[in-house]
Amino acid sequence: MLAGGALIFALVMVLLLLSFTRRAPAGGEARQLRVWVIGLGLVFPLAVLGALLAYGLVIGERLLAREEPEVIRVSAEARRWTWRFTYEDAPGRRTEGVLHIPAGRPVDVAITTADVIHSFWVPRLAGKLDAIPGHVNTLRIEADRPGTYRGLSAEFSGAGYGGFTFLVSAHDAAGWAAFVEDTER
């Protein structure tokens, strides 16, 4: 997308520069209209945008949360200025500020809020999705390998917004089992 954008920008700049060097206008007004307005103004963007849109929709489709047997379900509830996480696999277990997930498995995060609008964003795992009062939004995330990922709340929420972050801890299979076990003890 960036390269395509840069190319189009370069094209416009070259056309602008050339207008200062050329002297004789090519053809009559009708021909100029065909070239500039219909060719460059209508056909060119329609072709580029059509391709881009199709690409975006396909990618978006792939990001959609689908029903899979393997899916882990967790809940994330935001309040000013902390996130509370609960786990379907570990009832009664609640963590604050750190979300635990297994690596290599799809996870559905049910996002809600206790006060104002917030947004759940772990840049390396998925795009962001808002926590809106009265609604539950579900985001599919998946960590390829175990590790710690930084998460941010990405909707302005007042005075404590700047430091409103959290962590996602992705465990390997043994670690996840231990995390789930821990609650049942």
Partner 1 sequence: MNALERHRRLRAIWASEPGMRGWLSTVNHNDLGRMFLLTAFVFFGIGGLLAMLIRAQLATPHSAFAGPQIYNQIFTMHGTIMMFLFAIPCFEGLAIYLLPKILGTRDLAFPRLTAYGYWCYVFGGVMLLVAMLLGIAPDAGWFIYPPLSGAIHSPGINTDFWLIGITFVEISAIAAAVEITVSVLKYRAPGMALDKMPIFAWYALITALMILTGFPPLILGSVLLELERAFGLPFFQAELGGDSLLWQHLFWLFGHPEVYIIFLPAAGVISTVLPVMCRTTLLGYGWIVAAAVGLAFLSFGLWVHHMFTTGIPHMGLAFFSAASTLVAVPTAVQIFAWIGTMWKGRPELHLPMLHILGFFCTFVIGGLTGVMVAVVPFDWQAHDTAFITAHLHYVLFGGFVFPILAGVYYWLPHVTGQRRVFRLGEVAFALVFLGFHVTFLAMHWVGLMGQRRRIPTYAPEDGWTAINLISSVGSFVLAIGLAMILIDVVLHVLIAARGKRNPWRAGTLEWAMMTPPPAYTFASLPQVDSRTPLADDPHLAVRLARGEGYLATPREGARETLCVDIASGRPDMHVVYPANTRLPVTMSALTGVFFLSLLVKFYWTVPLALAGVAILACKWVWGNGRREDPEPVQVREGITLANAATARRSPGWWGTLFLLSADATFFGALLFGFAFLWTVAPGWPPPEWFAGAMVMAGIGGFGALIGPAAMRQAIRANRRGDTALPGIGLALVGALAVAAACAAVMVQTPAPMGHAYGATLLVLGGYGLFHAGLGALMAGFLAARVLRGFTSRVRQAEFSIVSLWIDYLSVIGLLVLLAAYLPGLLS
From candidates 85, 87, 102, 157, binder to partner 1 by CB under 8 A:
157
CA distance 121 to 109: 11
Of 99, 126, 141, 143, which one interacts with partner 1 (CB under 8 A)? 126
What size, in residues, is the chain? 185
Based on CB atoms, which residue is closest to partner 1, 103 or 131?
131
Give phi and psi for 164, each to the nearest 5: -85, 90
Q: Which of 69, 91, 92, 134 binds partner 1 (CB under 8 A)?
A: 134
Beta bridge partners of 113: 78
Beta-bridge partners for 166? 151
Does residue 47 touch partner 1 according to CB under 8 A? Answer: no
Which tokens hold the place of 136? 């539950």
Residue closer to partner 1 (CB basis): 98 or 160: 160
The answer to whether 26 touches 103, Cβ cutoff 8 Å, is no
Position 108 contacts partner 1 (CB under 8 A) = no
Q: Is the CB of 159 or the CB of 174 nearer to partner 1? A: 159
Q: Angle at the Cα of 60 (from 59 to 62), degrees rounded to 5? A: 65
Of 133, 130, 178, 185, residue with least CA distance to 154: 130
CA Rg value for the chain: 25
Q: Whose Cβ is closer to partner 1: residue 3's or residue 174's? A: 3
Chain contacts with partner 1 (rule: CB under 8 A): 1-2, 5, 8-9, 12-13, 15-16, 18-20, 22-23, 25-26, 29, 32-33, 35-37, 40-42, 44-46, 49, 52-53, 55-57, 59-60, 63-64, 80, 115-117, 119, 123, 126-130, 132-135, 137, 152, 154-162
